[in-house]
Amino acid sequence: MARTTKELMVENLLTSVALGLLAVVVASVTLIVRSSEVSREQAVLSDLAGRPVSSAPVAGADPHILRLYRVGGTGPVLYGASLSLDSPSGVAMVATILGADGQLQALKVYDATGIRSPFTRADWFSDYLGKGGAAPYPSSPAASRNPSAVSGASESYLLNSDVLTDLSERVRSLAKEGK
């Protein structure tokens, strides 16, 4: 027996309502997860800086520089950033503290995937500390970006230097604007 137009309209309406409710649930869960991520990164940055972090980021999202905050409190002007760094072996979420001149003062990996990830090694970021202001970030001895000439770890090292250089430039720009 064929269905009437009225029955089909009611069925379509109920399907639309169900899909709409599903979209609301997914959006709500996404907001809750994102809020939790932001709270966690702000806590890590505040702990790393020893001072409170502003509640709102001063710079928006970038593929690697997720959020950039001004660090409050007394003392020299500081900025905190949450980074997402990639390597062939995994991804790491990194909290960084920089001075107004773009110099990297502190860094902490607060989440990493992949047990072979280079970010999990204690000394992986040691060459970057103190750089970014007057001193450029180090580059790998293998200057070539040719994949056959550069190992995965060297490529990660080069990419990290690029991200940190961009971050330092962004911080200097924000400091110049007084943000």
Q: 53 in a domain, yes or no? A: yes
Q: Which position has the higher pLDDT, 156 or 130? A: 130
- In this prediction, what percent of the chain has a pLDDT beyond 70? 78
Confidence class for position 96, pLDDT limits 50, 70, 90: very high
Is 127 domain-assigned?
A: yes
The answer as to whether 57 is a domain residue is yes
Q: For the chain, how many structural domains are there in total? A: 1
The amino acid that residue 97 corresponds to is I
Is residue 63 domain-resident?
yes
Residue 9 within any structural domain of the chain: no
| Distances, alpha carbon 108 to alpha carbons 101, 129, 168, in Å | 20, 11, 16
Residue 174, helix vs strand vs coil: helix
Compute the distance between CA of residue 70 and CA of residue 171 in angstroms, rounded to an integer: 9
Average pLDDT over every residue of 165-177: 88
Instruction: For the chain, give the percent of residues with pLDDT over 90.
Output: 7
What is the spatial distance between Cα 32 and Cα 37, in angstroms, rounded to a whole number?
A: 9
- Does the reported pTM lie above 0.85? no
- Supply φ then ψ for residue 106, to 5 degrees: -155, 155
Is there a domain that residue 92 lies in? Answer: yes
Q: Band the pLDDT of 133: cuts 50, 70, 90.
A: confident
Report yes or no on 37 lying in a domain.
no
Per-residue pLDDT, averaged over 8-16, amounts to 86
Report how many helices (DSSP H) and strands (DSSP E) the chain contains, helices first: 2, 4
Residue 110 belongs to what domain range? 44-177
Can you tell me the mean pLDDT for 78-96?
A: 84
The span from the CA of 131 to the CA of 138, in Å, is: 8
Evaluate whether residue 138 is within a structural domain: yes
pLDDT higher than 50, residue 114: yes
Give the up-direction half-sphere exposure of residue 31: CA atoms within 13 A in the CB hemisphere: 6
